[in-house]
């Protein structure tokens, strides 16, 4: 079972190695030099004892020490070559996998992110990949080098004395079963450890994202207590992993001692009976002891690789997953002049969110969605952006079903502004041009249209002013106007304002309403409003309840004919 898992692990990463044939060749040459140098060290024991110390060969006394320096130089340089090239290959492969991981995640449907904790995804993209990196860049190359060393040393001891070599290897099969058990246990511990580390990362993410509420509520002791529970579990799992991994050492020490004892007894008889020279015996014994080190290393590496196998399974569950929102082939290479909902239905987790929605919006119109929480306002926006797809009916652009369009192309023609402001820890110009090259004139024009230029032009560095994380060196209204400027900078055909003024004071709201009025003249604009004052000038107000349109029209018409709107209007006063 374990061998199958390792085969799967290698198979997953093998395609990446095809681009590194030259570097891999250098790494193999380095491995051969390192392994060969180890065997040559053992071989040189024989002439040192037999020819120099016993036969007193003075010529070899000058040659052998020089040869020893050469052998160790070859061995050391070979290991350097191997470590450098295998590390380069491993690091580069992991760089590509980390990129592929995020690229795949960014292409998933929005419901995937709603069902996953952000800390879990961060953990998979960082901690899990780091575990695999350690194996691909360090452990597997070391594993290969040690295996090659074992093969060369085995060949050498068989060459010196086949009988003693076979006797010494009798104990080796005794390690297979316990090592297999330890490896299985190590994998289970690794899976549990990675899950708990994800929990810890998620908890930290929640703490830092809600720090104001935690400090204001004085719940830091509660958070610390919960954090300590996860922290303690990770500690216990890591200790258990250490205990399991280190059991390899006493196991190999005991078996190695048994083998050494038997060889000393057998070899001593061979030397006494003149069937073997003293130099040959000590050369054999040195090679045998040298053989013990890589065998022990391979055993420990085998256990540690289980950690990466567990991590790779978590990584590949992401890399092999397909998005549930298929991408069409058509480009939105035309101006969008009409968007329509045609008997659109949306269900999520078996629950109906939208029912039989029919609505058309044309360029130059501002359509407002109002209704109580859960009425379906955000669900309509999600259909436009294809965060979700209709179960029945359709959404069309200029008469074409949006499912036929490429997602990137579709979303490039739509700009959304929400109450949740996303700011970069960068200049105002970079925040406005987010995702595009900075055109300073265009940035300033976008800021003017968003009613933001008046407060930015008086800043010491103007549009080069650097914003703090979350833009905390600006007011809420100022941040929101910069986000509107960002939407304008993209020059979309459709603007979406989702509760864009809900958290602002009346003065800031007025500025933003003016900006919305200005930029939506030749565009399709959808506005979800918490305050009805935001949507008084809308061409059409759509009232939603329980996923259905109950009324639509301008404000005066709805105040005369729509009980739901009258109730909403009275509640907002």
Spatial CB neighbours of 68, under 8 Å, sequence gap ≥ 6: 41, 44
What mean pLDDT comes out for the span 524-542?
81
Q: 152-171: per-residue pLDDT in tens?
A: 888 888 888 888 878 777 76
User: Residue 421 — pLDDT band, cuts 50, 70, 90?
Assistant: confident
With a pLDDT cut of 90, the percent of the chain lying above it is: 12
Reported as a pLDDT band with limits 50, 70 and 90, residue 571 is: low
Query: What percentage of the chain carries pLDDT values higher than 70?
Result: 91
Shortest CA distance to 363 belongs to which of 181, 215, 520?
Answer: 520
- Could you tell me where in the chain the CATH 3.40.50.300 domains are found? 338-572
3-state SS of 115-174? CCCHHHHHHHHHHHHHHHHHHHHHHHHHHHHHHHHHHHHHHHHHHHCHHHHHHHHCCHHH
Residue with tokens 């061409």: 539
Q: What is the pTM of this model?
A: 0.72
The CATH number of 2-319 is 1.20.1560.10
Residue pair 161/334 in contact by the 8 Å Cβ criterion: no
Q: Which two tokens stand for residue 54?
A: 């016993």
Q: Three-state SS across 431-457?
A: HHCCCCCCCHHHHHHHHHHCCCHHHHC
Q: Which part of the chain has CATH 1.20.1560.10?
A: 2-319
Q: pLDDT confidence of 1, banded at 50, 70, 90? A: very low
Model confidence pLDDT, tens digit, residues 381-419: 989 999 889 999 999 999 999 999 998 899 889 988 887
* Joined tokens for residue 467: 């914003």
Architecture of domain 338-572: 3-Layer(aba) Sandwich (3.40)
Angle at 290 between CA 286 and CA 294, to 5 degrees: 170
Both tokens assigned to 40: 């040559």
Q: Are 191 and 124 in contact (CB under 8 A)?
A: no
Highest mean pLDDT among 91-95, 302-306, 452-456: 452-456
Tens-digit pLDDT profile for residues 465-523? 988 877 778 887 888 888 888 888 988 999 998 876 665 666 667 777 777 777 777 88
Q: What is the secondary structure of 74-101 as a DSSP string?
A: HHHHHHHHHHHHHHHHHHHHHHHHHHHH
Q: Is the dihedral of CA 63, 64, 66, 71 positive or negative?
A: positive
Please say whether the dihedral angle defined by the alpha carbons of residues 308, 309, 313 and 316, taken in this order, is positive or negative.
positive
């Amino acid at each position: 079972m374990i061998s199958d898992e390792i085969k799967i692990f290698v198979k997953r990463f093998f395609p990446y190695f095809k681009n590194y044939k030259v570097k891999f060749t250098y790494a193999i040459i380095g491995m051969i030099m390192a392994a060969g140098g180890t065997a040559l060290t053992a071989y040189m024991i024989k002439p040192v004892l037999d020819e120099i110390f016993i036969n007193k060969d003075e010529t070899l006394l000058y040659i052998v020490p020089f040869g020893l320096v050469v052998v160790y130089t070859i061995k050391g340089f070979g290991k350097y070559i191997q470590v450098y090239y295998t590390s380069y290959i491993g690091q580069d492969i992991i760089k590509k996998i980390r990129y592929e991981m995020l690229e795949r995640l960014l292409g998933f449907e929005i419901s995937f992110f709603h069902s996953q904790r952000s800390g879990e995804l961060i953990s998979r993209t960082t901690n899990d990949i780091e575990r695999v990196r350690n194996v691909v860049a360090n452990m597997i190359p070391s594993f290969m080098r040690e295996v090659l060393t074992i093969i060369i040393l085995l060949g050498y001891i068989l060459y010196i004395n086949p009988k003693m070599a076979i006797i010494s290897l009798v104990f080796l099969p005794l390690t297979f079963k316990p090592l297999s058990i330890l490896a299985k246990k190590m994998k289970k511990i690794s899976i549990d450890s990675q899950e708990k580390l994800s929990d810890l990362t998620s908890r930290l993410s929640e703490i830092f994202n809600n720090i104001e509420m935690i400090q204001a509520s004085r719940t830091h002791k509660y958070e610390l207590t919960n954090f300590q529970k996860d922290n303690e579990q990770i500690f216990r799992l890591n200790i258990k992993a250490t205990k399991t991994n280190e059991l390899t050492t006493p196991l190999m020490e005991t078996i190695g001692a048994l083998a050494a004892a038997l060889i000393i007894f057998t070899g001593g008889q061979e030397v006494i009976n003149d069937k073997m020279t003293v130099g040959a015996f000590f050369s054999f014994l040195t090679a045998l002891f040298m053989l013990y080190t890589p065998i022990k290393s391979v055993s420990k590496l085998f256990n540690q690789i289980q950690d990466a196998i567990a991590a790779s399974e978590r990584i590949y569950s992401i890399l092999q997953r397909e998005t549930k929102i298929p991408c069409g082939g058509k480009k939105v290479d035309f101006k969008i002049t009409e968007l329509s909902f045609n008997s659109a239905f949306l269900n999520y987790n078996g629950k109906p969110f939208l029912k039989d929605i029919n609505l058309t919006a044309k360029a130059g119109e501002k359509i407002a969605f109002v209704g109580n929480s859960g009425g379906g306002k955000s669900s309509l926006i999600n259909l436009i952006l294809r965060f979700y797809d209709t179960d029945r009916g359709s959404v069309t652009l200029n008469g074409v079903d949006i499912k036929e369009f490429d997602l990137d192309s579709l979303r490039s023609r739509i700009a959304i502004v929400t109450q949740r402001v996303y700011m970069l820890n960068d200049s105002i110009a970079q925040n406005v041009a987010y995702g595009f090259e900075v055109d300073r004139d265009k940035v300033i024009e976008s800021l003017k249209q968003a009613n933001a230029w008046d407060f930015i032009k008086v800043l010491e560095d103007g549009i080069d002013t650097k914003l703090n994380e979350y833009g905390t060196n600006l007011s809420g209204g100022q941040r929101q106007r910069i986000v509107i400027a960002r939407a304008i900078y993209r020059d979309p055909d459709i603007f979406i304002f989702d509760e864009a003024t809900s958290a602002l004071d009346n003065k800031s709201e007025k500025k933003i309403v003016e900006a919305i009025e200005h930029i939506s003249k030749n565009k399709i604009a959808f506005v979800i409003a918490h305050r009805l004052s935001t949507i008084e000038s809308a061409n059409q107000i759509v009232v939603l309840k329980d996923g259905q349109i109950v009324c639509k029209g301008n404000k005066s018409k709805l105040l005369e004919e729509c009980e739901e709107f009258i109730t909403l209007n009275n509640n907002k006063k």
